[in-house]
Structure 1
Amino acid sequence: MENYIFDVDLTLIDSHKVNLLSTQSAFRQMGWPAPSSADILKYTGMSIDRSFPKMAPANAKPADFQKLFPIFVDKYKKLKNNNIKLFDGMADILKTLSERGKNLFIVTSNSHAIVLDNFKILGIAQYFKEIVGSEDVEHSKPYPDGDLKIVHDNHLDPDQTIMIGDATYDLKMGKNAGVHTAGVTWGAHPKSLLASVHPDYLIDHPKDLLNIK
């Protein structure tokens, strides 16, 4: 593999705490029951315009979500600095891949601007050639738009390209885009669920990202 496309949340960054606190606080501000940690993990990897309706009350209206989304974003921005961190060894792994001449990219269901700001805080922005966020594509994961944009923009060979993520949505996107796939088991979805999508690799430890052939 020459081209590595990464998901962000719970793949590179341990962001469950900020996602949990921001989501629950935003729902409470709307007067709704706060989603459980398990439900938030279940839908991690989806964009919030798709995941929040799945966790909201059945009588929620489109106008309610137009209020909810900016509340969530505001709370996320206020909470993130003290509640995000790279998974152990990830900075060195990205540095090593870059030094080996690998091309590193991001496709995320989060906002492009938020991810770039997080990367600057964590000191890893310099490793990535392109970041594709939720606002950069028409259809989010598991649709292939994000991966296809990376392949098109950078003239990549799909057979030398791999999508790496912690959720089935990442793996389905990669398969739909015709690239290789790797599921990481330290994130949102359990190994058994990732395995059901039949990725090319299942990776149990971050350091094993260096062993992808």
Structure 2
Amino acid sequence: MKYTTYLFDFDYTLADSSRGIVICFRNVLERHGHTGISDEAIKRTIGKTLEDSFSILSGITAPETLTEYKKEYVKEADTYMTVNTFFFPETVTVLETLKNQGAQIGIISTKFRFRIREMVDQHFPKDFFDIIIGGEDVKKAKPDPQGIKKALRRLHRQKSETLYIGDSTVDAETAQAAKVDFVGVLNGMTTRKELTAYPHRQILDDLSLLPLIHKFNPYEPEKHFLEKHI
């Protein structure tokens, strides 16, 4: 099977924005008296909506309070996010390789689209990505498949020719709900064991082997695939 379309999560899949995320969450949380929250606890929420993350970290469930925290986070992110976000070493090369193979490339993220643009426009031509869908572009966040389905409609692609790549169980659930193939990457806080619990083609240490995925049987054991290429 050769995929024509590769859709990526952003945080902890293409880029490490954890430093900026931790700063923004900590500034908001501590402003409201929520102290003693570890960096690891904050990083474990990456990929979830801001409201869900603040609820998990603070214990607050009141929608109006979570909405206010979200607004404050966005203001903090204007200062701290993009300057503290870095593509993983292999990201640019892998995406350029896929593009040169004729693939369509997209991003589906809970992160705001304009924030993703701030980063990708520094490293790629303006028309490099065929589609970017951020949190403001959908009514329901991942793991709801709305983002992937919207991308496939706009790109005029079928589920069977699409691969979704992400680092978290939220991403795995999203691919499963959208009925597209999934590849997990271990760039983030989610373990191989956690990702393996979901349907997947491969679980990779990073993106570097991704351009080889389409050349192999989707049911080839991951161990054999990795042995061939490491």
Work out whether the TM-score is over 0.5: yes
**Aligned residue pairs, count:** 212
8 A contact 1:24–1:34 mirrored in 2: no
Report whether the alignment pairs 1:64 with 2:61: no
Please point out which of 3, 8, 11 is paired with 1:9. 11
Unaligned runs of 5+ in 1: none
User: What is the CA distance between 1:89 and its match in structure 2?
Assistant: 2.0
Return closer, same or farther for 1:81/1:149 CA change in 2, 3 Å cut-off.
closer
Question: After TM superposition, where is structure 1 displaced by more than 4 Å over at least 4 residues in a row?
Answer: none
8 A contact 2:82–2:118 mirrored in 1: no
The CA distance in 2 between the partners of 1:109 and 1:124, in whole Å, is: 23
8 A contact 2:7–2:162 mirrored in 1: yes
- Deviations, residues 34-81 of structure 1 (Å, cap 9, x unaligned): 5322222222111112221121134x5332222211211111121124
8 A contact 1:26–1:72 mirrored in 2: yes
Return closer, same or farther for 1:209/1:32 CA change in 2, 3 Å cut-off.
same
The CA distance in 1 between the partners of 2:93 and 2:116, in whole Å, is: 19
2:161 is aligned to 160
8 A contact 1:25–1:34 mirrored in 2: no
The CA distance in 2 between the partners of 1:126 and 1:93, in whole Å, is: 17
8 A contact 2:173–2:198 mirrored in 1: yes
- Deviations, residues 130-156 of structure 1 (Å, cap 9, x unaligned): 111111111111111111111111111
8 A contact 1:165–1:171 mirrored in 2: yes
The CA distance in 2 between the partners of 1:123 and 1:61, in whole Å, is: 40
The CA distance in 1 between the partners of 2:108 and 2:36, in whole Å, is: 28
1:18-29 matches, cutoff 5 A: 18-29=20-31
Please point out which of 38, 41, 56 is paired with 1:39. 41
Q: Please identify the structure whose Cα radius of gyration is greater.
A: 2
2:193 is aligned to 192
Which letter maps to 2:8? F
Q: Once the two structures are aligned, what percentage of the paired residues are identical?
A: 24
Unaligned runs of 5+ in 2: 215-230
The CA distance in 1 between the partners of 2:193 and 2:186, in whole Å, is: 9
User: What is the CA distance between 1:11 and its match in structure 2?
Assistant: 0.4
1:111 is aligned to 112
Root mean square deviation, CA, Å: 1.6
Counterpart of 1:163 in 2: which secondary structure? strand
Counterpart of 1:128 in 2: which secondary structure? coil
- Deviations, residues 60-111 of structure 1 (Å, cap 9, x unaligned): 5332222211211111121124311110121111111111110001100111
Counterpart of 1:181 in 2: which secondary structure? strand
1:59-208 matches, cutoff 5 A: 61-123=62-124, 125-208=126-209
8 A contact 1:168–1:189 mirrored in 2: yes
8 A contact 1:94–1:127 mirrored in 2: no
TM-score between both structures, scaled by the size of structure 1? 0.93
